């Protein structure tokens, strides 16, 4: 069985109990992390995921709440004793931002720092992102202030599917990517350029025919409000706020 871990569920500015949106998918053999805007390693440990299973880190776009924790994560991997290289995958602008962030620090004296293997992803529907014995991950571009990629994660063993919208306005490409998913993890920051509110996320979930919608990238509670969730559940019954640190089988 595979699990989705919501390592963080907040927008760049959210409530005290939420950090920036970061995800993980985990099987018995593999752990794939998605985005690193906060203390990613701490969040992995907090949900009981197994960092020694880490296969790859995927970065959806170049904004700081999705990539600025990368140097700290590499430092913690080094202290954790990881020896094998780390695959870091994303569209070129996301990869470039992670590389610049890391190179701002002098790690030349850190003997044994894991090698970073940068893996560029094409910004097109159906683009291959990552695959291993547990997962096959593909992508599609979203609509945001900078280039961004949504992700579809398929569990090889059980056949379950999770799709993550990343930061995006309602997108036909994301609908197509998410079609038939067991879980859609969709942002609900608000109805403005480059983002979606809870009701719009629910419309995407309904159009895609998914089993369950988890709302993430959540703004402060007073901006989301009960009314926002009510509108979403009226449009798609199986809508929930993503739980900080929550784990879901798929």
DSSP-derived secondary structure letter, 134: S
The first and second tokens of residue 36, run together, are: 């690193």
Q: Answer yes or no: are the C-beta atoms of 180 and 161 closer than 8 Å.
A: yes
The pLDDT of residue 226 is 72
The DSSP secondary structure of 38-52, one letter per residue, reads S-HHHHHHHTT--GG
Tokens 């991997």 identify what position?
77
What global pTM score does this model have? 0.97
Q: Return averaged pLDDT per consecutive 10 residues of the chain, 250 residues in all.
A: 98 97 98 98 98 98 98 98 98 98 97 97 97 98 98 98 98 98 98 96 98 97 81 96 98
The pLDDT of residue 5 is 98
Q: Answer yes or no: are the C-beta atoms of 68 and 98 closer than 8 Å.
A: no
Domains of the chain: 3-242 (3.60.15.10)
């Amino acid at each position: 069985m595979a699990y989705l871990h919501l390592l963080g569920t907040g927008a760049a500015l959210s409530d005290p109990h939420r950090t920036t949106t970061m995800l993980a998918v985990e099987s018995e053999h593999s752990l794939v992390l998605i985005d690193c805007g906060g203390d990613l390693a701490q969040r992995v440990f907090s949900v009981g995921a197994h960092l020694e299973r880490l296969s790859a880190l995927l970065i959806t776009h170049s904004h700081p709440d999705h990539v600025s924790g990368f140097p700290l994560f590499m430092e913690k991997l080094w202290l954790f004793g990881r020896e094998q290289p780390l695959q870091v995958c994303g569209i070129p602008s996301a990869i470039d931002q992670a590389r610049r962030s890391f190179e701002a620090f002098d790690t030349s004296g850190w003997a044994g720092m894991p090698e970073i293997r940068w893996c560029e992803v094409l910004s097109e529907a159906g683009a291959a992102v990552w695959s291993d014995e547990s997962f096959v991950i593909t992508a599609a571009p979203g609509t945001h202030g900078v280039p961004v990629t949504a992700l579809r994660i398929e569990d090889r063993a059980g056949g379950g599917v999770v799709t993550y919208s990343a930061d995006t306005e309602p997108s036909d490409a994301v609908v197509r990517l998410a079609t038939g998913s067991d879980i859609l993890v969709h942002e609900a920051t608000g109805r403005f350029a480059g983002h979606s509110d809870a009701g719009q996320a629910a419309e995407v979930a309904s159009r895609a025919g998914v089993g369950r919608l988890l709302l993430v990238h959540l703004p402060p509670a007073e901006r989301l409000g009960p009314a926002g969730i009510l509108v979403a559940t009226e449009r798609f019954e199986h809508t929930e706020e993503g739980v900080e640190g929550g784990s879901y089988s798929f």
